[in-house]
Structure 1
């Protein structure tokens, strides 16, 4: 197992972070209890431990792949780093401007045009009007929407919507870019262009987190990898090593897998 040595001023430091969701659901009553309660179900509170005592740090300029099965806590971790979801316990330090691709196009107004939403998205991310004027043409050209840029976004296909959201996020010149499965959007040509742009972000001393089920993307785009399992960090290290261990885990199953096998 490989861990990252601590540095005095990392881009992101996660210290003993846990996230617990509290949800309520209605328990289906039996016929007898339903008669007593006039047919009403009983509401119960259920706690879900999404992250448990997660700790790691990422230095400036690193590109980190985050892997794990569905429900492992990957998206919860990204939302917590982004400041969208507060940790239940523990602490997160983030040094730099963050741009997110966690849920593509969140905050866009579908009644407004693509052009107007570029302005809204940029201002919401902290850009000035001068910065937006400088980068607007580049954002629009990258999205490749043509005349649709001036049409209401309610007329967009899901692919067009996602392409514009991606273009806005990666052209903010962020210090830290958080991406959750963004490469799954768009056609093959756009995916290649998106991958090139993400490499540029990482190479320009930016820090990037990429959540993906594509091991090929993780290997090509990331310098480190974190494997989450049931809300805990199972392993952190070189992408080839972590992916090999994760692949072995998927083949043999949890019952017969141990960290001693690595």
Structure 2
């Protein structure tokens, strides 16, 4: 059986300038009436630049860098959410991404209904989702509230449900963006233990996290990004040291 992998070669990703240049109706009217200065138009943002990266089965890759370095952009490119303009991205294996945990929730539906909807969105089959339903409810600690519309949930209840659903479906390649600290302090220890178990099952892990101690604990390789490029690639201790050195300068 062929091993899982991810390969990026000379990949360039841009954010379209329309995202930044668009004006609200109010801004448009004020601009035409000369009541507000017309904002300067921006060019497309070059988010990933001639990006080259190979990740092979068994690697737990930590991705670190300053805000705006391209960490989350990289994950979303790997997940196929952001298209590259030039270059190549290839992968072998089922990709599972954990980004915005509550994405796809219907606030008018019950917790139970959202388990089904969100589980299917994450790639689970109806049979798989149904088999995990009670375990998800138990882990999220929702009790009878599982049959209430989630608009009535507290923020903590919503996060617990979202986390329990998101960690119930696994894949060969797991892309994780800052979700280890889900929920309140009482839930976090349980959540971290479950998250580590999910990550351990993946054949490839790509983890974006600001917690350097966890990066060193979980990962066997780390890359440091700066302005859309890889500036360091190696053992977590060494790359984290380079990041902290740049942070202090």
For Structure 1 versus Structure 2, the TM-score category normalised by the shorter chain is 0.7 to 0.9
Task: Number of aligned residue pairs: give it.
Answer: 238
Partner of residue 27, structure 2: none
Q: 2:145 corresponds to which residue?
A: 148
1:126 positional shift: 2.5
Report the Cα distance in structure 2 between the residues aligned to 1:61 and 1:224, rounded to whole angstroms. 10
Deviation at 1:223, TM superposition (A): 1.8
Counterpart pick for 1:162 among 156, 159, 164: 159
Q: Is the 8 A contact 1:80 1:86 kept in 2?
A: yes
Structure 2 residue 36 is the aligned partner of structure 1 residue 21: no
Q: Using the TM superposition, name which of 192-201 and 39-48 deviates more.
A: 39-48
Q: Which runs of 5+ in 1 are unaligned?
A: 1-7, 28-33, 253-262
Task: Please say if residues 51 and 73 of structure 1, whose CA atoms lie closer than 8 Å, have aligned partners that are also in contact.
Answer: yes
Equivalent position of 1:238 in the other structure: 235
Q: Is the 8 A contact 1:63 1:209 kept in 2?
A: yes
Q: Equivalent residue of 1:183, what SS? A: coil
Q: TM-score, normalised by structure 2?
A: 0.86
Determine if contact 2:224/2:243 at 8 Å carries over to the other structure.
yes
Q: Deviations over 1:208-227 (max 9, x none)?
A: 22211111121122222111
Unaligned runs of 5+ in 2: 24-29
The equivalent of 1:196 in structure 2 is 193
Offset at 1:184? 3.1
Tell me, in whole angstroms, the C-alpha distance in 2 between the residues paired with 1:71 and 1:14: 20
Q: Which of 62, 65, 68 is equivalent to 2:62? A: 65
**Closer/same/farther in 2, CA of residues 197 and 250 from structure 1, 3 Å limit:** same
Superimposed CA distance per residue, residues 58-93 of structure 1 (whole angstroms, 9 cap, x where no aligned partner): 122322211111101111111111111111222212
CA drift of 1:188 comes to 2.6
Cα 1:176–1:69 change in 2 (3 A) is same
Query: What whole-Å deviation, never above 9, does each CA across 1:90-135 have from its counterpart, x for those lacking one?
Result: 2212222222221121111111111111101111222222111211
TM-score by length of 1: 0.82
CA RMSD of aligned residues (A): 2.3
- Structure-2 separation of matches of 1:183 and 1:96: 23
Q: Superposition pairs for residues 38-117 of structure 1, below 5 Å? A: 38-39=33-34, 41=38, 44-117=41-114
